[in-house]
A and B are shown apart, each in its own frame.
Chain A
Amino acid sequence: MKLLSKFHRVNVVATIIVLLISGVCYYFFIKHVLIEQLDKDLAIEEREAKDFVTESNALPDAYAYKDEEEEFIQVANGNVVRKFSSVQLFNKSVNESIDYRQLEFPLTVAGRNYKVVVRKSQEETEDLIQLILTITLMMVLLLLISLFLINRFILSKLWKPFNNTLSQLKQFNVSGKNKLLLEKSDINEFTELNQAVSIMTNRVSQDFNEIKNFTENASHEIQTPLAIIKSKLELLSQSENLKEEQMNTIQSIFEAGNRLSKLNQSLILLTKIDNQQFVQNEKIDFSKIVFKHIENFEELIAAKHITTVVNIAPGVKLNINEDLAEILISNLITNAIRHNLDKGSIDINLSSHFFIISNTGTQPDRDPGELFERFRKDKVSSESLGLGLSIVKKICEQYQFSINYVYSGNRHITTVGFNN
């Protein structure tokens, strides 16, 4: 849920609750005040009646209007208790029941005891309360509308710098050269955020470049002496009259040098993938690459008398760096050839969701999960560096492809699932 809508929701609920509670409080408070006012009026009527009795020693006239009436009821004894109460009586003039506030009090006129009842209609009070409730409700509505408008137009404008920073961060590419274009904001929090973000991304880019330079330099420094060793050996091997023993020695050094340089290249490749230095992602025709590599290895496959079953959906497009795609396929196919049996078979399947390669072979002597670790290799082919599968895994991780290996029915089955 968006922060804004969450904030908005909490705000609206709180506003409604507060307004309802205050409405209820209003209602009771005002009702109380108004009834007190009525009671005061009734007390005045009482005093007037009593004054009249004192002055003229006679009962005043009883009266009954729509909203006020007074009546005198003769009672036998004088134990009438003075009290205020609310009653509902039928009013003949308007033909309906009306709430009244009434005061009963005793009155003695010329030795006779009377109970006097003075009533005043509460209708005005109720009207007032209704009005107050209506106003409260309208306020709630008005507040909701204004909150909505604020959220819609002002808050989203306020959050714009934040959203801008966010979208810049999403596009941030550590190996990219363009810096973040952060919008200036007059809000302290966003300015601070932008500062922190640019400090962080600058440091990340700097670290990245240092590592990248280190990798390149390391590669350079190691490859150059290797290049010299290899070239000298190649020259040495051109010499006439070499003894068999010497030729073997040269060949051994040569192979060792080759392995060293391949090891170096593979490690550099792994580091480069780790550093996400392969960025030129374009939609490439994966089917074509698979075809190309099958064709490329066709003689090796024939040399081992391996039969192939190839089932490739044409035109499978993937968003992947072309070099990495080539390495991925080439490593998997080479593995399927290397760890195969004589007269074995290789099945290759490509659909828009999966690349599945399976080959006949002996049971691996290791846990399948370990096969993807660096320098893990099967005992049968000691010539391999043991980096091929970890490179495959790295490439899959880079593109969020799933990779799965099982050994079943005397076959090694490797499945790469594309994340489309």
Chain B
Amino acid sequence: MKILIIEDEKELSDSIATYLKSENYICEFAGSYDKAIEKIELYEYDCILLDISIPGGSGLDVLQELKSNNKLDGVLIISAKNSLEDKVKGLNLGADDYLPKPFHLSELSARIAAIIRRKNFDGNNFLRFHNIQIDTRAKSVSLKNKTLDLTRKEYELLLYFVSNKKRVISKNAIAEHLWGDGMEGSNDFIYTHIKNLRKKLIDAGDVDYIKSIYGMGYKFSD
């Protein structure tokens, strides 16, 4: 999977690349408008992370260029300008998603995975992790061919874990992913959800993949 990171803040693009590398994504960088145009004309990417304010031009112009060349690359706008106009403009121009900075890398990774899944036209809407099979179209989960009865939030939580497997995910990131910005502060309630999901997976006869990492959050791994 090839990802192009159009972002002038080198430290940030490095972090993103390091995080994504372990998901087997190959990352390329473009730190300016010209570089970005050059890259998108030469290559095709599964997903492009696009910052709006880049040296030499606007990320929205890059998006326009991309769309006028009928490129099918997925586009995720990552902008510090949390401005409604840019968001609306970007989505109207054909971006797939919009993520305001600062974001959790785990959230970014989940969004990229979602975009790539949607871009896949071969009808492959199944995600697998050992015995767990997630049908992202039907939003259902089955374990050893037995459908699991999960609530919507539990489904989203599991999908988030699988998109960020073998990573430490902070409680904060989980809370924001599930409830948005609204629930600031105490994240203890997440515990209940994790507990329920864990119980359902174990009851269905699987291993306990969810590990608590003391003080930090959770990790989904074998």
Contact = CB atoms under 8 A, between A and B. Distances in A.
A303 interface: yes
Most buried by B among A227, A261, A280: A227
Interface stretch (A91-99, A165-173, A251-259): A251-259
Interface stretch (A78-86, A102-110, A330-338): A330-338
Interface in B7-26: 9, 11-12, 15-16, 18-19, 22
A226 B215 contact: no
B125 interface: no
Given A227-B80, A238-B168, A334 B15 contact: no
Interface residues of A, number: 50
B181 A265 contact: yes
A231 B189 contact: no
A230 B9 CA distance: 14
B192 A258 contact: no
Interface in A273-302: 277-278, 280, 296-297, 299-300, 302
B84 A238 contact: no
B219 to A, nearest CB: 9
Nearest to A338: B185
Contact of A237 (B84, B151, B170, B185): B170
A237 B82 contact: no
Contacts of A234: 15, 19, 104-106, 170, 173
A235 B103 contact: no
Contacts of B102: 223-224, 226-227, 229-231, 257, 261
Contact of B101 (A227, A238, A244, A262): A227
B172 A323 contact: no
Contact of A323 (B80, B84, B106, B214): B84
A227 B103 contact: yes
A113 interface: no
B139 interface: no
B167 A238 contact: yes
Identify the 5 closest CB pairs spanning chains A and B, nearest first: A383-B185, A231-B15, A227-B102, A223-B80, A227-B101
30 contacts: A216-B83, A219-B80, A220-B53, A223-B80, A224-B12, A227-B12, A227-B80, A227-B103, A228-B12, A228-B15, A230-B102, A230-B103, A232-B15, A234-B19, A234-B170, A235-B105, A237-B217, A247-B214, A250-B216, A254-B172, A255-B172, A257-B102, A265-B100, A280-B84, A297-B179, A297-B182, A297-B183, A299-B151, A303-B192, A333-B182
